A and B are shown apart, each in its own frame.
Chain A
Amino acid sequence: MSIPEDEVTLFQNANTARRRGDHATAAALYRRLMAAHPQSIEARESVELLGRMLFDDGMSSDALACFKEYLRRGGELAAEAMLGKALALQQLGQTEEERAAWTALLEAYPESPHAERARLRLAILRDPW
């Protein structure tokens, strides 16, 4: 029996695996989707979803790479990818890059629910005491 390889099925299967907590399978399916259908919208969105899942699992460095790649290619979830990038940098302790990431998020989405979070985080980075 062959495994369906179209982008929508791969995307749905990856999401299902992620929701049931099987993150290893989900990551493998997201990566297979990106390799097999790199130009598809499903592959593009998979980059952000994979980044968020890796961040949840504590793999901040890999998550950061995903968020950067998503922002390089562009997509509807740019605000979420910028937030993920800032949080991953915070986890990694890369303060200067983190400061730049929060600043960029604040400038790009000043009316978003992330703006106040960015302002507070920048204030803490400015004066940690």
Chain B
Amino acid sequence: MAGVLGMLWPSSASGAPDAQRQVVAVEVNAADDEAGTLAVELGDVMQHLDLRMRLEHRSEPPLLWPSDVLAGVWIDASHPDRVTITVIDLNRRPDGQRYVRTLVREGSIAVFTEQVAQVVRASLESILAVDVERLSSALDAAAGPLVVALPEARPAAASKAMATGVGLDFGAAVTEQAVSPNSGPIFGVEAAVRISLPSRRLGLVASGAYDPRFDAPNGPAISEVSVASFRLIPSIELIDLDTFGASLGGGGGADLFSVAPLVVKGSMAKIDKAVDEVDPVVSGQLVLHLRLAGHLALIMAFDLDYDLLNREAAGPSKGVFVPPGPAFEPWRLRPMVAFGACVPFTAAGACASPPQ
């Protein structure tokens, strides 16, 4: 008898395998009352797992299972003392890995059907879970003791689940910063590392930047200035799509100004000895990642620094034509834009490309 009891439950995408593998084929050999109860119990299981069920009532197990389903389940409840459940994993093994389980019948029909439902549910959960675990371990443990192949069908939710482990990225960029009213935008270079927690949501950016010497005229005086910056900025990932990410951070650091005035004496002019000044700053930072294939990402960062030091004078005031007051006075609020590239050192890095 091959009467179709046929129950199809709607399925949502979250946590389910891809569209080709959302169906479980269930074949049941049982008395009508037991088959009906089983249909209800198994329908509840499939709904819980976001799967659809194709259920048939038949007396013999099928010789062939459809190749496009997640799993086949054969329940033989024709024997009065026992029930045999065969689960065939067709997700990872097209030839069908078979798992056979025999339960001793005891108690009411409700007990037997609940037991069958629990066995089927746990089996399907483990079949699905192995896919996710395999992805995680394969990507995390590049040098681990377990070598596994990526599965043929991958749960949709796994692309985010794979990003486990601590992330480490390295980035380099060119920068342009507004430093003072006495100079134009200053070009510089920056290097940074970002360490992120396994979720990739939280991270810590440590960076160093250097603006090579530039002229800062101030009335009749002129100074040569260079700036070295150091920052430590905790950040949180606001957007984490497969190819695009954005993080926002706030932290602080220090700017080291090296100011060397041009001193004129008579007809002679020379660069005087540089004086260093350290300004503590607080910083806000927005970083955008555009992840490319080959584990390379383009980054664009926008920084806004606030100088905590209200300096009346920065740099020396000696020199015949150096006017009183500061020879170089940086803005207290200093914006900066950076454009560069980033490479991940670990698979969970923020610059890592998604698995293909």
Q: Measured between C-beta atoms, what is the minimum distance from A24 to chain B in Å?
A: 18
Size of the chain B interface, CB-CB below 8 angstroms: 36
Chain A, residue nearest B40 (CB): A19
Establish whether residues B118 and A114, one from each chain, have CB atoms under 8 Å apart when the complex forms: no
Establish whether residues A48 and B141, one from each chain, have CB atoms under 8 Å apart when the complex forms: no
Establish whether residues B107 and A42, one from each chain, have CB atoms under 8 Å apart when the complex forms: yes
Q: How far is the CA of A12 from the CA of B104 in the complex (A)?
A: 20
Q: Given contacts A12-B110, A42-B107, A121-B133, are A127 and B118 in contact (CB under 8 A)?
A: no
Interface string of A15-51 (1 = CB under 8 A from B): 1000100000000000000000000111001001100
Establish whether residues A76 and B103, one from each chain, have CB atoms under 8 Å apart when the complex forms: yes
Q: Which positions 77-129 of chain A face chain B at CB distance < 8 Å?
A: 77, 79-80, 83, 111-114, 116-117, 119-121, 123-124, 126-129
In terms of DSSP, what is the predominant structure of the interface of chain A?
Answer: helix
Establish whether residues B126 and A45, one from each chain, have CB atoms under 8 Å apart when the complex forms: no
Q: How far is the CA of A28 from the CA of B48 in the complex (A)?
A: 22
Chain A residues, Cβ within 8 Å of B136: 124
Establish whether residues B118 and A77, one from each chain, have CB atoms under 8 Å apart when the complex forms: yes
Q: Given contacts A11-B108, A12-B110, A42-B111, are A124 and B123 in contact (CB under 8 A)?
A: no
Q: How far is the CA of A40 from the CA of B110 in the complex (A)?
A: 13
Q: How far is the CA of A18 from the CA of B40 in the complex (A)?
A: 13
Contact partner, B140, options A12, A56, A113, A129, Cβ 8 Å: A129
Chain B residues, Cβ within 8 Å of A79: 101, 119, 122
Establish whether residues B141 and A117, one from each chain, have CB atoms under 8 Å apart when the complex forms: no
- Judge whether B144 is part of the interface by a CB distance below 8 angstroms: yes
Establish whether residues B118 and A19, one from each chain, have CB atoms under 8 Å apart when the complex forms: no
Chain B residues, Cβ within 8 Å of A128: 140, 165
Establish whether residues B110 and A8, one from each chain, have CB atoms under 8 Å apart when the complex forms: yes
Chain A residues, Cβ within 8 Å of B195: none
Establish whether residues A112 and B115, one from each chain, have CB atoms under 8 Å apart when the complex forms: no
Contact partner, A113, options B104, B115, B126, B137, Cβ 8 Å: B126
Chain B, residue nearest A82 (CB): B122
Interface string of B116-140 (1 = CB under 8 A from A): 0011001100110110011011001
Establish whether residues A41 and B106, one from each chain, have CB atoms under 8 Å apart when the complex forms: yes
Chain B residues, Cβ within 8 Å of A83: 122, 126
Q: How far is the CA of A111 from the CA of B137 in the complex (A)?
A: 22
Chain A residues, Cβ within 8 Å of B126: 83, 112-114, 116-117
Q: Measured between C-beta atoms, what is the minimum distance from A105 to chain B in Å?
A: 10
Chain B, residue nearest A52 (CB): B118
Chain B residues, Cβ within 8 Å of A80: 118-119, 122
- Judge whether B95 is part of the interface by a CB distance below 8 angstroms: no
Interface string of B19-31 (1 = CB under 8 A from A): 0000000000000
Establish whether residues B44 and A19, one from each chain, have CB atoms under 8 Å apart when the complex forms: yes
Chain A residues, Cβ within 8 Å of B122: 79-80, 83, 113-114
- Judge whether B10 is part of the interface by a CB distance below 8 angstroms: no
- Judge whether B80 is part of the interface by a CB distance below 8 angstroms: no
- Judge whether B114 is part of the interface by a CB distance below 8 angstroms: yes
Establish whether residues A113 and B89, one from each chain, have CB atoms under 8 Å apart when the complex forms: yes
Chain B residues, Cβ within 8 Å of A119: 146
Contact partner, A15, options B106, B110, B137, B166, Cβ 8 Å: B110
Chain A residues, Cβ within 8 Å of B299: none
Known: A11-B114, A121-B133, A124-B137. 10 other contacts (CB 8 A): A19-B44, A41-B111, A77-B118, A80-B119, A80-B122, A112-B126, A113-B126, A123-B144, A123-B146, A129-B166
Q: Can you identify 20 A-B contacts, CB atoms within 8 angstroms?
A: A11-B108, A11-B110, A15-B114, A19-B40, A40-B107, A41-B106, A42-B107, A42-B110, A45-B107, A45-B114, A49-B118, A76-B104, A80-B118, A83-B122, A113-B99, A117-B130, A120-B133, A120-B134, A126-B145, A129-B166
